[in-house]
Amino acid sequence: MRTIQADERPSAAASDRHIARPAGPSAAALSVEALRQVYGTQVALDGVSWQAEPGQAVCLLGHSGCGKTTLLRLVAGIEAPTAGRVLLDGEELSGPQRQVAPERRGIGLVFQDYALFPHLSVLANVMFGLRGGSPATRRAVALAALDRVGMQRHADGFPHTLSGGEQQRVALARALAPQPRVLLMDEPFSNLDRRLRDQVRDDTMDLLREAGTTTVIVTHDPEEALRIADRIVLLRQGRVEQTGAPEALYRHPASLFAARFFCDLNEIPGVCRAGQVETPLGRHAAPGLADGTAVRVCLRPQDIRLTAGAAAATGRLVDRVFLGEAEQLRVAVDGLAMPLRLRRPAAADLPPPGTAVGLAIAGDRVLVYPDAAAAPSPFPR
């Protein structure tokens, strides 16, 4: 059983997992310190701090308008911050003392729409970002970058002849050709259909891990962040809600907002009495909360199961939705305003709707939050 206080934030040391992959020879540590960005009366970022170690993949995660892209633009040098600093290996790139131009930062950027020049060939697009050296040298570097992403055979073609996945690979080659110390990617896979997106995303991350490139990726998709990140920075209205390794954020969300972001929850309102909350599913520990505190007891659908043995509660099966390898069940329980949602591997032995069923709960995965920490759920009801 775990109770989360509204202001609890796990330390970076406790949250981060060990990064096994080596950093590339040019990979750098990126630090963002107390960044603040104000546009007129609108505060886009308010004291945001996080860091990426050399060779690490960091995901900036959050809803639209939370400040993700603004952060990326500040790191890239496209904008100067109102306050705070951006540092690369301890060198200040943005801050009170200096503002280094984007082209002098050693930072690559892949835009959401790839931003390929339609009038230039694939090879010329990749060569565009290269500076110095002879034309023959730049051509050789660009061809090597295209070969690295499997696109050398398209070197003489033009962007309009390529699929979305192929354009993404060319944009990646263009960003990697100058050997940036850090690579920034703004929703790089969102324009691809789901099946292609999974393949291109896996191939891209394999390449970046092999190269040991420090990478910062903006995404609004929690599943994508869990899948590709070494570290997640979850943003909410211009502030860091929680940061740490993907498993830490999923298993130990620091707030109801964070818990809701990663999973559609069953939420049961209650009141803390003597360190416990009484619910129709039994009592749950709520240490550290004062008597009378309104709370939310939260259970993930996969942490509730049907049982023929000892049960925490009994209910009535409402319906079943077949999802292929999995299925979603709804079970009505006396005392709860809404049916509980359960998720389990698809089975053929499910009793018909209306059948009485027993429910077992993974007690160590129950989350309890003060109700004052509640935010509107990102999932439609």
**All domains in the chain, ordered by first residue:** 2-257 (3.40.50.300), 258-373 (2.40.50.140)
11-32: per-residue pLDDT in tens? Answer: 444 334 333 445 665 789 999 9
Cβ neighbors of 335 (< 8 A, separation 6 or more) are 279, 280
Pull the structure tokens for residue 274: 């003597």
Q: Where is average pLDDT lowest: 66-80, 178-192, 225-239?
A: 178-192
Residue 361 has phi, psi (to 5 degrees) of: -125, 135
Tell me: pLDDT of 374 over 90.
Answer: no
Pull the structure tokens for residue 80: 């100067």
Using an 8 Å Cβ cutoff, are 32 and 84 in contact?
yes
Question: How far apart are alpha carbons 128 and 125 in whole angstroms?
Answer: 5
- If you average pLDDT over residues 265-272, what whole number do you get? 94
Q: Where is average pLDDT lowest: 252-261, 275-284, 366-375?
A: 366-375
CB burial class (10 A; 0-12, 13-18, 19+) of residue 164? middle
The H-assigned helical ranges of 38-163 are 68-76, 122-128, 135-148
Pull the structure tokens for residue 178: 């100058």
Question: How far apart are alpha carbons 248 and 236 in whole angstroms?
Answer: 18
Residues in the chain, total: 381
Q: Where is average pLDDT lowest: 13-17, 187-191, 314-318?
A: 13-17
